[in-house]
């Protein structure tokens, strides 16, 4: 049965661990110059309704390194931009390609795409989740600190798609997640509610990061929220991850950000450019984690 990745909840905790282990192997193979081409002769379709740097480049490079090709489809380049139903696009693309990545404003669109696709569909970002980024984040955390089970992550900022995906990861892998958002910017309670009690919610960044093993933030105004930027800057006052806030975390705490970052807003230059920052490791690991994901999903294609 064909499987998709629309959120991390499409995987089990054990599968995520195996994916991370495989990503480490694939990363080593690439650095040793080993040729491995499980997509030879195949193509990856990439429907991007939102702009991208890391997601686009990492998936295109992944397809090339796997011996295949990537076809980038921007909003004005296909009939989707003229109102063709997502279901029809899914049927056509899945008859010609090995997998489809969609980056979209509405999570319902990527769900609809997967419903009618015969090949794996990957959520390259939606308004609800960003699972591919979390695989890279988890890979980076594991590479630097080992198993994440029982450790503590702190999320500081907007209760957005990244926050939701960190919550999914917490439940699946058994680490604690302290979330601090300004009042009115909390994440969806249906996503972050955790019967096991590993996820805590609050509005105090200092309390959230206390003793944390990793501190994570994101831009205060995501794509599509540009008109809200001035108001958000006011509402997020006190939520900048600076050296004083990082000092409240664990002594060897890592700092993470999915990028792009806006220095002086959600993070201070002294932190993102400092020794605790692993943001560029995260960015590179998008490639390796997604190669592991593609390999895993391509093996599931079937009736």
Q: Which residues are catalytic?
A: 103, 130, 133, 218, 258, 286
* Residue 79 DSSP one-character state: G
> What's the rounded Cα separation, in Å, for the pair 298 and 300?
5
Contact between 216 and 156 under an 8 Å Cβ cutoff? The reply is yes
> What's the rounded Cα separation, in Å, for the pair 21 and 56?
23
The order of strands in the sheet holding 121-125 is 69-73, 43-48, 99-103, 121-125
Rounded to an integer, what is the distance from CA 183 to the centroid of its chain? 24
3-class SS string, 39-62: CCCCEEEEEECCCCCHHHHHHHHH
Cβ burial of 296 (10 Å; 0-12, 13-18, 19+) is middle
> What's the rounded Cα separation, in Å, for the pair 269 and 265?
9
> What's the rounded Cα separation, in Å, for the pair 239 and 236?
5
């Amino acid at each position: 049965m064909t499987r998709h990745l629309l959120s991390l909840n499409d995987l089990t905790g054990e599968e995520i661990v195996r994916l991370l282990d495989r990503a480490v192997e694939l990363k080593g193979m690439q650095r040793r110059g080993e040729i491995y081409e499980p997509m030879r002769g195949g193509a990856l379709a990439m429907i991007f309704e939102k702009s991208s740097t890391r997601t686009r480049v990492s998936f295109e490079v992944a397809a090339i390194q796997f011996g295949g090709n990537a076809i980038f489809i921007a909003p004005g380049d296909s009939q989707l931009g003229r109102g063709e139903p997502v279901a029809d696009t899914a049927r056509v693309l899945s008859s010609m390609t090995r997998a489809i990545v969609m980056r979209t404003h509405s999570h319902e669109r990527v769900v609809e795409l997967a419903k009618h696709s015969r090949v794996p569909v990957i959520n390259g970002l939606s308004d609800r989740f960003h699972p591919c980024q979390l695989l890279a984040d988890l890979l980076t955390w594991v590479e630097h600190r080992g198993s994440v089970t029982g450790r503590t992550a702190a999320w500081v900022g907007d209760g957005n798609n990244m926050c939701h995906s960190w919550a999914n990861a917490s439940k699946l892998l058994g680490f604690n997640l302290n979330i601090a958002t300004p009042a009115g910017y909390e994440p969806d309670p249906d996503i972050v509610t955790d019967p096991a009690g590993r996820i805590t919610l609050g509005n105090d960044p200092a309390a959230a990061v206390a003793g944390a093993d990793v501190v994570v933030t994101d831009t205060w105004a995501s794509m599509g929220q540009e008109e809200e930027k001035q108001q958000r800057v006011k509402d997020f006052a006190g939520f900048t991850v600076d050296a004083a806030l990082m000092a409240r975390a664990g002594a060897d705490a890592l700092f993470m950000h999915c990028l792009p970052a806006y220095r002086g807003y959600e993070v201070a230059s002294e932190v993102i450019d400092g020794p605790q920052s692993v943001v560029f490791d995260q960015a590179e690991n998008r490639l390796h984690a997604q190669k592991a994901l593609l390999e895993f999903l391509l093996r599931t294609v079937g009736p």
